[in-house]
Structure 1
């Protein structure tokens, strides 16, 4: 596939991390992401990908003043499920010290308006998992009539910061049945600064199901890995998934992209190409905690496809 250099040379949207772009049946692209203040969830829409840059953002929801939904609003995703809109996001409690930084849980908002920039976003509550522990980056997909959730969580008995899990769902905010670990950070490129597997995104193509994810600290070491399963496999069986031993997208000093990760997938305007959406910085050296450096920008580029159906993020 020939790439359009304009898709990789400059950010689509500046200072928007953890970007999520969804193209709906109405022909609009819907965009949401973490804002630098971590205090609200915004949505914008456009008929074109480039049009998202100048589209007016609408605030869908703001953090609470106190309590569990009052700090560090991270990584929202917007989904359309059975006629309603849903936003998945992570939130922590207000804390006077950094002890509250990694106190996140996953939550869901629901809106039954035709246009998600309108109407009321109702809080459906916390997604309850097997453990009451640090959890974030919920994403959902449907396969053969079953809805699944994939998310990152700290399992109390396992060293490290977060692993990736999968479960079936009984509705868009409730898990059912077995909750299975898909991957934990074991490779050196997954454990720099923090032992992290997070930020999953799902792509179904050519008889395969791909789950991309991000690893390591959120500085220039941040990078992306990939899990692959057959569409005929038992998705709740960890043995159904193969894991790339190498990162599929990492810092590229030639292109001036540092710490790429936390991606989503969408499609081109003609519907012919899959598009990789991700955030990255344009410099390596960061002053202070990388989480509070605002300059993680949204980029996008076409995915390369090979005759055997495999994909490449480079």
Structure 2
């Protein structure tokens, strides 16, 4: 069956990819390698996102809590408006008592809103920080609407729980305000979730055939990075941890046979003919030079996600690349041009 997805990666050097299909167009965002802005691009076909113009719709502040390490923006459509959820951290002045100077990340979750028809040319307004209930490292917010209610799922640290981040869910009063207390859905606990770092992050939600699938990524950002899944019945109380079943094993992981490593931080979209598409980032090599945070060669990839007769995803393994991908920052400019 012909689709609008025939080449991979769909966008080069963009980690934490988020793709939203709306009115026949694909909207793409992801972490910009300099972590200093939020960008959007749009195309009628997934294959054309790489060549689409990239527009900067927001840049980091000069100082304060949104002045460095802008991570993992996600674009969502709620009602008649566009929203982008993202994580940002304060800058430091190099002194021991400066925010963030203790060598730990100090991210919080923030929201942008655009009520114009076109999010690439429209005006984006800061709606501020999402109050998640307590102040600690928080990131990777995603949102979904189910049966008329909007929910937020995100990663956050609780110092009483071993590890760097757990996954939480809450119902929302509006797209920038929680209506309920945060509920922890999972924490890193299995061997595959605690390699290098104890992490559960990068959640994404897919609702299909009476089930809710909540994917997430775990461990460090190298070849150990992999995806897990929580599953709930669509009729269940999604704010009750007992409604969710967590897979003890990763569902999507590195595959040396095809040369794809560290797949994760996924999102979901669909083709024009209704097939579910799994979007994720991955690297094509294992030896990283320097700090992996600043290594830009996580490529935004996508592939059709099939389902079995019971309506469960057949996750499979990453597919080989069909488009050349850089293996060094010198090969490709950060603007995506050769």
Do both proteins adopt the same fold according to a TM-score greater than 0.5, normalized to the shorter chain?
Answer: yes
Alignment correspondent of 1:185: 188
> Which structure 1 segments of 5+ residues have no match?
none
**Is 2:74 the counterpart of 1:71?**
no
* Residue correspondences, number: 310
Alignment correspondent of 2:314: 312
Alignment correspondent of 1:23: 21
Alignment correspondent of 2:146: 143
Task: Report the CA distance between 1:9 and its aligned residue.
Answer: 7.1
SS at match of 1:312: coil
SS at match of 2:158: coil
Residues 21-76 of structure 1: CA distance to partner in whole angstroms, max 9, x if unpaired?
A: 0000x211000000110000000000110111100011010000111000000000
Alignment correspondent of 1:51: 48
SS at match of 1:305: coil
SS at match of 1:36: coil
Task: Report the CA distance between 1:5 and its aligned residue.
Answer: 12
The within-5 A match list for 1:176-255 is 176-255=179-258
Retained in 2: the 8 A contact 1:21–1:265?
yes
SS at match of 2:74: strand
2-side partners of 1:7 and 1:186: how far apart?
A: 35
Task: Report the CA distance between 1:181 and its aligned residue.
Answer: 0.3
> What stretches of structure 1 move > 4 A for 4+ residues in a row?
3-9
Retained in 2: the 8 A contact 1:49–1:269?
no
Alignment correspondent of 2:291: 289
Task: Report the CA distance between 1:6 and its aligned residue.
Answer: 11
1-side partners of 2:306 and 2:25: how far apart?
A: 24
2-side partners of 1:64 and 1:35: how far apart?
A: 15
> Which structure 2 segments of 5+ residues have no match?
95-100, 317-338
Task: Report the CA distance between 1:270 and its aligned residue.
Answer: 1.8
Alignment correspondent of 2:303: 301
Retained in 2: the 8 A contact 1:224–1:249?
yes
**Is 2:231 the counterpart of 1:258?**
no
Task: Report the CA distance between 1:144 and its aligned residue.
Answer: 1.1
2-side partners of 1:292 and 1:221: how far apart?
A: 17
2-side partners of 1:82 and 1:277: how far apart?
A: 24
SS at match of 2:180: strand
1-side partners of 2:282 and 2:93: how far apart?
A: 29
Q: 1:8 to 1:269 in 2, by over 3 A?
A: closer
Determine which structure has the larger strand proportion and give its number: 1
Task: Report the CA distance between 1:11 and its aligned residue.
Answer: 1.5
1-side partners of 2:252 and 2:5: how far apart?
A: 16
